[in-house]
A and B are shown apart, each in its own frame.
Chain A
């Protein structure tokens, strides 16, 4: 079941004109910002498939930039997000791509500032629902509909058990979890979808665990 909630059907409340090309795009932009942890200084936005063909007409561009500025799908400032971004010192660039992608509405967002850089691939699957398919080269599935925790860690035994134990201590139920690594013993990523929003104290405790590099939360 891809659509679980009635509000996936009757909703979202959003700025027009397209749920997949505007609302979904804004959500993808916002998840990128959440993952980055702060407002980036620059953004290179690669558009694929139908996004590349129709992004101007569907306001996909202003929606993604709005998302990068932390606007929700119904935030009226989406309409003027380009001006807002420039005011806040966010440089952005759109790059329509011709390469083949699996989903017609795909975007790769590369963002950064003087401290860090991040790349994220997202797809808009219809009705405003999105999936995040890749983060810094790690393939992943993240619906964006549930709160999620992303844990970057060293690939060592015990890491996953420690994180699971910590969540258990706070009575946080894991709905979906994926673990991936680039190379044995090197950097790895845990993607954990949970049923309720996670307090900061839990994140602070997680990051203190051995071999954990970074912990990010994506709120509902």
Chain B
């Protein structure tokens, strides 16, 4: 069965030509390719949305990972936000804290919904539940937010990569942030083209991001990278809604991300052998958590 779209250009064109939302094209493609009913698909996405909501709530109450490397920052951020003194603005800080909440739950082996991966699971729900307070979407619109994110993620996964081991953190948190930006635009009433501009702007600014998890854990710097990914996507969505466009088309940005990922040394692709993982403190934390002496690059 042939897909309705293979790249962002085709996705946007189809949405524009048929006067449909990007989320609708994604739903129709899912029905077609997977031979499932609309009701069935909507129900499954509704369940995923519930999982995301529960993870955010859990994280905002405060969780800590077994290693002790992460946890509790979502609580700090929410408390600070409540003082009304935040410099970056209420919605932005809300998105950031909710992204952190999700990833803290993930690091603590809680239940999350991978979007597109577990290490990048905070950005899409973090932004969604922050923007929700501003735009007051219906439940269906919230579900559509996930389909719009999914449509763009589908293109990245099939034409580039959403794996940190293959393409660095730009492929995980970079993709998640760009997916979220596109979805925010649709929820805020922007056009399919503006969604693609927001995606391109976000991804351009996450290019080159390496995957260098300390001690090989999905904690440092993953949790905070989700925070910054969420911030990136909110700003990029605003830029696109303001009419700013990307000089480099979306699909070419995705190709560039893939090329960069391919040329990244393996030390910077989830092997925990380079970057922050290889810093003196990173190595010290590794030996503290897993025990034993850490010598050179071997274990």
Contact = CB atoms under 8 A, between A and B. Distances in A.
A10 B107 contact: no
Given A6-B150, A126-B165, A127-B114, A13 B109 contact: no
B76 interface: no
A50 B118 contact: no
Contacts of B35: 195
A67 interface: no
B116 A10 contact: yes
A78 B111 CA distance: 11
B117 interface: yes
Interface stretch (A54-62, A107-115, A207-215): A54-62
Nearest to A173: B35
Given A126-B163, A126-B165, A19 B158 contact: no
A37 interface: no
Interface string A84-105: 0000000000000000000011
Contact of B47 (A5, A13, A50): A13
Contacts of B45: 6-7, 10
Given A3-B158, A10-B48, A56 B119 contact: no
A7 B146 CA distance: 10
B3 A20 contact: no
Contacts of B121: 16
Given A9-B116, A11-B114, A59-B109, A126 B34 contact: no
Nearest to B219: A17
A23 B29 CA distance: 25
B161 A10 contact: no
A13 B111 contact: yes
Contacts of B299: 53
Nearest to A196: B35
Interface in A189-215: 195
B113 A4 contact: no
B151 A79 contact: no
B41 to A, nearest CB: 8
B4 to A, nearest CB: 12
* Central interface residue in B33, B35, B179, B270, by most chain A CB within 10 Å: B270
Q: Pick the most buried of B35, B117, B147: most chain A CB atoms within 10 A of its CB.
A: B117
A126 B153 contact: no
Interface string A56-86: 1111000000000000001010110000000
Contact of A10 (B106, B109, B115, B270): B115
Interface string B56-82: 000000000101000000000000000
Interface of B: 3, 26, 29-30, 33-35, 41, 44-45, 47-48, 51, 65, 67, 105-119, 121, 124, 146-147, 149-151, 153-154, 157-158, 161-163, 165-166, 179, 215-219, 270-272, 289-290, 299
29 contacts: A1-B3, A4-B33, A5-B30, A10-B113, A10-B114, A10-B124, A11-B114, A13-B112, A13-B114, A14-B111, A14-B114, A16-B106, A16-B107, A17-B109, A17-B219, A18-B117, A20-B163, A50-B270, A54-B217, A57-B218, A58-B216, A58-B217, A125-B163, A126-B117, A126-B165, A126-B166, A127-B114, A128-B114, A128-B117
Given A6-B45, A17-B219, A50-B165, 15 more contacts: A7-B45, A9-B115, A14-B113, A16-B107, A17-B107, A17-B218, A18-B218, A19-B114, A50-B270, A57-B216, A57-B218, A58-B216, A74-B51, A105-B165, A128-B117
